[in-house]
Structure 1
Amino acid sequence: MKQKLYLWIEDYLFFPNTLQQIIAYLLLPLTFIYMLIILLKRTFAKEVDFGIPVISIGNIIVGGSGKTPIAIKLASSYEKSCVILRGFGRASKGLYVISKEGEILEDISISGDEAMLLAKSLKHSSVIVSENRIEAIKKAKELGCKIVFLDDGFSKYNIKKFNILLRPKKEPTNFYCLPSGGYREPKGLYAYADLELKEGVDFNRVITIKKDGNEAILKDKLVVLTAISKPKRLLEFLPKNTQLLAFADHHTFTNDEIKEVKEKYNDYQIITTGKDLVKLEAFNIENLYLMDLDIKIEDSVDFSMMKEYIKTYE
């Protein structure tokens, strides 16, 4: 039942049916208030320069659009880089250094799934989680980092930064802001991006199925076990008969849930994402396979403005 609710909400936010459109219209007064607050915050914010280049990788719709793999791709290209994120789904609060120059210092309960995936993927970078991004930037400088990649930082109007905005391959038919739709900021704010990257045009996801680190072949009975935003997008890369078992974004799996999955899908290949795998590794699921995600950024993408911005701090 919960899985159906998560998928219903996803459809409502991005690709609503007639009933969902009516609900969205009824919530428009709240949406206008929300938009007014967003625009006022942006108008009156004063940018602060922290003396270190800050590259924000964000989007203006709810949920994932490739921020984490893009952050991994870019941060791995710079020495003494640091990725800062809020750390959704973690059991902790406050600022934690999850990894320092590739050395993992905390466990997943402290880090949350995204931060742990970043820490394991970036062998020479640092990863910090904090609700307060300003304090995290100061901590990165204290650690000796030379460049900061801010995960989902577009709405941090008081931080001077270079804004990269990601656009989904398939634009939502629902273009309203919350709560009437899936946009966190008005769609027109794409114009404020320093660099805009659209999936399917500027970058593409490259998926490899792996088992215990080795490339594997998928068979007939498949189920995706995941707790990411917009989980239906995973089915694009898998055979048509694949079932979807979706939990809420950043959900922490329990022993009872995994026991039920093992019993129900014992003769299936259970496929999951990298963000989910860092949580599922503890459950020893024998028939678990990874959708290993890499990002291919097209050669046509012009990063010259970003490089010039970084040079101003050298």
Structure 2
Amino acid sequence: MYSRKFHSWINKYFYRPRYFEVLVSMLLSPLALVYTTIVWIKFKLAKPLKFSVPIISVGNLVVGGTGKTPLTKAIFNEFSQDYKTFIILRGYKRSSKGLVKVCINGNLLCDTAASGDEAMEYALGLKNANVIVSEDRKLAINEAINLGANLIILDDGFGKFDIFKFNILLKPSKEPPLRLTLPSGAYRYPASFYKFGDFIPQNDDIIKTNTITNQTSKMVLVTAIANPFRLKDSFKECIGLEFFADHHKFSKLELENIIKKYNATSLLVTQKDFVKIKDFGFELSILELNTQISPNFKDKLNNFIKNYG
């Protein structure tokens, strides 16, 4: 289990560095230079393939959570009534390999272990969901087209430079002060790559509302997301906070121990965490992160879709 202290230090290293963190960053700078060079070479050599259907990518340049999953869900909800829409993602930390059809026309075809937590969140949380996981995104795109897709959303697809797509780039709420790539900074891709984004949403382009379903008197927040401090507005509602590594696979015993530790009346979890523990039989409170896109944002996507060809 990752402690809050560890997460605090990582957050400090990337977003609030002081003397020690800056020293570590500088010592790692030769590795960051190698990393950046590899990314640029990959980008320059890529020849984007244009598929027969429009593809929208929801991505970012930094490590950690910037709200890609809620935004992907919002875009699906906006367009799935007019277009047969598929969500394609890698399925990080799933037990399966290769291409797996997670959900087709709302029919669930595998379990969370095979799909990965994010893919299962889409499958369970979206009406008539179509979700495919695959390390090979091109293979998954072709499979989606064979299944009748006329719109595809790539979750975390910016780095797929060999695929022609509309690139949405999300910025973190606070930009890292050291605009360096890994491991010296928080950037997976150089900060200069923002210029390759087709649309960078501003604050008023994404409307967010947070609610808690089944709120109880003594909740413990248990979460395994990349940046748990994105949930800080809910901290005050809880008697305890337990943070795990991103995509952590929970065991029933460790959750039982957390409940006993705090004498909790429920575990407060995100939808991403819920899909992994929903069958354990615990009392759960669900943190619902609801997202909608502005008319301006929707117009940008509509123009891309309608003028695609």
Runs of 4+ more than 6 Å apart = none
- State the partner residue of 2:58: 57
How far has the Cα of 1:235 moved from its partner?
1.2
How far has the Cα of 1:39 moved from its partner?
1.1
Cα distance change on mapping 1:122 and 1:233 into 2, 3 Å: same
Q: 1:265 aligns with which of 249, 262, 279?
A: 262
Q: 1:275 aligns with which of 272, 277, 300?
A: 272
How far has the Cα of 1:238 moved from its partner?
4.0
Moved more, 98-107 or 15-24: 15-24
2:289 equivalent to 1:293: yes
Q: Secondary structure at the match of 1:289?
A: strand
2:204 equivalent to 1:208: no
2:258 is aligned with what amino acid? V
1:141 is aligned with what amino acid? I
TM-score (norm 1): 0.91
Q: Secondary structure at the match of 1:90?
A: coil
Cα distance change on mapping 1:191 and 1:257 into 2, 3 Å: same
Once the two structures are superposed, residues 269-301 of structure 1 have per-residue CA deviations (whole angstroms, 9 ceiling, x without a partner) of: 421101001111122112x211111013334x3
How far has the Cα of 1:12 moved from its partner?
1.8
Once the two structures are superposed, residues 253-277 of structure 1 have per-residue CA deviations (whole angstroms, 9 ceiling, x without a partner) of: 0133112112112235421101001
- State the partner residue of 1:176: 180
How far has the Cα of 1:144 moved from its partner?
0.9
How far has the Cα of 1:175 moved from its partner?
2.1
Contact preservation (8 Å) 1:82, 1:126: yes
Residues of 1 paired with 2:238 and 2:70: CA distance?
Answer: 27
Contact preservation (8 Å) 1:97, 1:105: yes
How far has the Cα of 1:135 moved from its partner?
0.4
Residues of 2 paired with 1:17 and 1:290: CA distance?
Answer: 36
2:142 equivalent to 1:145: no
Q: 1:160 aligns with which of 145, 161, 164?
A: 164
Contact preservation (8 Å) 2:259, 2:266: no
Once the two structures are superposed, residues 28-64 of structure 1 have per-residue CA deviations (whole angstroms, 9 ceiling, x without a partner) of: 1111111111111111210111211110010111122
**Percent of residue pairs bearing the same amino acid type:** 40
Q: Secondary structure at the match of 1:169?
A: coil
Residues of 1 paired with 2:94 and 2:7: CA distance?
Answer: 20
Moved more, 254-263 or 78-87: 254-263
Aligned-CA RMSD value: 1.9
Moved more, 4-13 or 85-94: 4-13
Q: Secondary structure at the match of 1:83?
A: strand
Contact preservation (8 Å) 1:226, 1:272: yes
Once the two structures are superposed, residues 74-103 of structure 1 have per-residue CA deviations (whole angstroms, 9 ceiling, x without a partner) of: 112223100000011211111100000111
Q: Secondary structure at the match of 2:154?
A: strand
- State the partner residue of 1:135: 139
Once the two structures are superposed, residues 76-134 of structure 1 have per-residue CA deviations (whole angstroms, 9 ceiling, x without a partner) of: 22231000000112111111000001111110010010000001122223100001101
- State the partner residue of 2:117: 113
Query: 1:24-35 counterparts in 2 under 5 A?
Result: 24-35=25-36
Q: 2:190 aligns with which of 162, 186, 208?
A: 186
Once the two structures are superposed, residues 134-181 of structure 1 have per-residue CA deviations (whole angstroms, 9 ceiling, x without a partner) of: 101011011111110000011100001011111122222232110011
2:246 is aligned with what amino acid? D
1:165 is aligned with what amino acid? L
Q: 2:92 aligns with which of 82, 88, 94?
A: 88
Cα distance change on mapping 1:222 and 1:235 into 2, 3 Å: farther
Q: List gaps (5 residues or longer) in structure 2.
A: none
Contact preservation (8 Å) 1:99, 1:105: yes
Residues of 2 paired with 1:47 and 1:281: CA distance?
Answer: 40
How far has the Cα of 1:242 moved from its partner?
5.2
